[in-house]
Amino acid sequence: MENQVLTPHVYWAQRHRELYLRVELSDVQNPAISITENVLHFKAQGHGAKGDNVYEFHLEFLDLVKPEPIYKLTQRQVNITVQKKVSQWWERLTKQEKRPLFLAPDFDRWLDESDAEMELRAKEEERLNKLRLESEGSPETLASLRKGYLFMYNLVQFLGFSWIFVNLTVRFFILGKESFYDTFHSVADMMYFCQMLAVVETINAAIGVTKSPVMPSLIQLLGRNFILFIIFGTMEEMQNKAVVFFVFYLWSIIEIFRYPFYMLACLDMDWKVLTWLRYTVWIPTYPLGCLAEGKLLLVGGLEAAWSAPRAALEAGSLRRLPRVLTTPRERRAAVSLRSAEREAEAHCPDCCSFISVGTVSVIQSIPVFNETGRFSFTLPYPVKIKVRFSFFLQIYLIMLFLGLYINFRHLYKQRRRRYGQKKKKVH
């Protein structure tokens, strides 16, 4: 019994380039750890399964290793790291196929081969990125320039949309409903500026300055600019409509919370109230804005199409309609226009009044553009095909709800990542 060799429990794990061994001995004294002829020799005084004794073991590795083991003593164990001579994955640790009784896998550090390859690839990419950044310039300098640029951009956008929001709010409290009808002439220049500057946000995402996905940003940019520059900018009939107020107001509400959130992110700061608003305000405002845009397509299309018979309609007589508008279908459309306008004008302060007819309104405006031919054009010879503006409205109608779905899905995922319940890891 006196000559019996005591062996400690040893746990092992590996990576492509390294071997890890954990020896279960506490209060280790006088450790002798070495590698000779590809065999690891361990001998030390410590407290193990058989009490305070001298423990030792020998392991012959499956393949060649470097003869300089690195070990670290802790109060409860000895950690040994051995470098492989060739970076590769071993099917087992020892040369002999039968595993020693004292040896077991270290499941706390264990990775399968595919996970280890991913880790190795990530380290290699990190090393290459570090070399690339060192060749281009100091990472701290580049990061500071990037944060400074993004902070200033978000600050300018925040000030622009804040000016629009405050202007519309003050005018509403002073003038009441009367402020609705000259909204475009009051804030259009600032809105033009902010929306043209919003192109930079999409470019930032496309070239990697920000980590935001490109598609949601691009969809929002195209949708808003279509409304602002095509529907509002080219149709004077639309510029004195109350719906302009609601569209501009909803846009500015979204942005006065979004851009300050980005500004604080550039400073690595987090204000919980602002963060909650940034991830919550979009829930009511995005569908309101989308449906408001659908409403203004109806009003804009019918306004342009039926500007001629408006006087006759307001006078209460359909007999004054011009000959081209006297078919039953055209009369019904004209009456539908006036009915929709009266309802909208009667409930302007309530957003739900124009939201409820938003989706149907876009669909109803398409046949009117087909009949009047406004904004339509004919392709040159030899094609000679007439392209109606209603075709673009149909595309926009699809994009409107497709874009709403994509943005909703993107924002919902962001909110869930931020406030969703995190699964606890099971060890």
The sheet with strand 26-36 has its strands ordered as: 26-36, 39-48, 51-60
CB 102 within 8 A of CB 59: no
Of the candidates 161, 130, 1, 20, which has an alpha carbon nearest to the alpha carbon of residue 77?
20
DSSP 8-state symbol, 384: -
Closest-CA residue to 254 (of 407, 59, 105): 407
Q: How many CB atoms lie within 10 A of CB 206?
A: 13
**Separation of alpha carbons 242 and 256, rounded Å:** 22
Residue numbers annotated as active site: 286, 293
Q: Are 56 and 1 in contact (CB under 8 A)?
A: no
Q: Rounded CA gap, 380 and 237, in Å? A: 30
- Rounded-to-integer distance, Cα 122 and Cα 233, Å: 50
Q: What tokens were used for 215?
A: 């598609």
How many Cα atoms within 13 Å fall on the side-chain side of residue 93? 23
Distance CA 427, CA 424 (A): 9
Q: Which of 367, 363, 309 is nearest to 338 (CA)?
A: 309
